[in-house]
Amino acid sequence: MQPPINGFIDIHSHLLPVQDGPKDMNQAIQALKLAEESNITDMILTPHYYSGDKDYDQKFIFNTFESLKAEIQKNGLKIRVYLGNECIVDDKLVEDLQAGKAFTLNNTKYVLCEYPLYQVPCNFQSNIYDLMDKGYRPVIAHAERNAFIDKNYGSIHELAENGCLIQRNVGSYLNKYGPLARKYAKMMLKHKKVSLFATDAHSIKKRSPEIYLRLYKKLKLRISKECMIELFDKNTKIFI
């Protein structure tokens, strides 16, 4: 079973050696090598961002990214990497994006927006729509992992219907986060409320990037060719 000729594009990962990603540059290179071996040709590295984080140093993030690109070339890897952020959605996000404090995905109009794992703030959707009013396109990350997804599932439908892209974690479908996340990952796919999958990879051991190819092989046996092209090719190319 052959993967797509042009390879996969992973738009959500934490393989930059900062925050909760790999501990050092060597571990980052090992993870990227595994990604390349798993037919991932392009990855957007998305360290966490929220407006009140006093430890976040954008210059350090950017310099580390440049150093990683040099190490990729030094080690003879062909994988291409780009920079973005996984953003906590709050009242200051639009302002921070406009000021260049937070990164969009690969300098596009797309913003990776973290869907809360627990309680969803009452102003979450209004802040999402504020992003859209300012010309950004939200990409809602891993909503299926929300602990109260039973109650919040309708709001995710609404976000999708109103123009947000919906990103599912590969690991959710593969039962890496428990039965509830898997149930809703499968339900969203059935209801066509999934725009694309991403690894949310953190290292070789934590959400390893090789699971992307595993999911592709699994879904290829279950859904149509047209749907596969949309999920794994068409909807990911817009970021590169």
| Tens-place pLDDT, residues 108-137 | 999 999 999 999 999 999 999 999 999 999
Ranking 67-76, 131-140, 168-177 by mean pLDDT, the lowest is 168-177
Specify if 113 maps to a domain. yes
pLDDT band at 1 (very low <50, low <70, confident <90, very high): very low
pLDDT band at 6 (very low <50, low <70, confident <90, very high): confident
Whole-number pLDDT of residue 189: 92
Specify if 187 maps to a domain. yes
Specify if 89 maps to a domain. yes
Q: What percent of the chain has pLDDT over 70?
A: 98
Q: What is the pLDDT of residues 19-45, one digit of tens each?
A: 999 999 999 999 999 999 999 999 999
Specify if 2 maps to a domain. no
- The DSSP string of 59-98 is HHHHHHHHHHHHHHHHTT---EEEE--EEEP-TTHHHHHH
Specify if 61 maps to a domain. yes
Specify if 226 maps to a domain. yes
Over residues 234-239, mean pLDDT: 96
| CA 81/CA 11 separation, integer angstroms | 10
Domain at 33, CATH number = 3.20.20.140
pLDDT band at 206 (very low <50, low <70, confident <90, very high): confident
Domain count, the chain: 1
Mean pLDDT of the chain: 94
207: left (phi over 0), alpha (psi -120 to 50) or beta: left
Over residues 99-107, mean pLDDT: 97
Specify if 1 maps to a domain. no
Q: Is 167 helix (H, G, I), strand (E, B) or coil?
A: strand
Decide if pLDDT at 4 tops 80: no
Decide if pLDDT at 90 tops 50: yes
Specify if 3 maps to a domain. no
Domain that holds residue 52: 8-237
Entry pTM: 0.95
Closest Cα partner for 149 from 113, 174, 186, 112? 186
Structure tokens of 40?
A: 């991932």
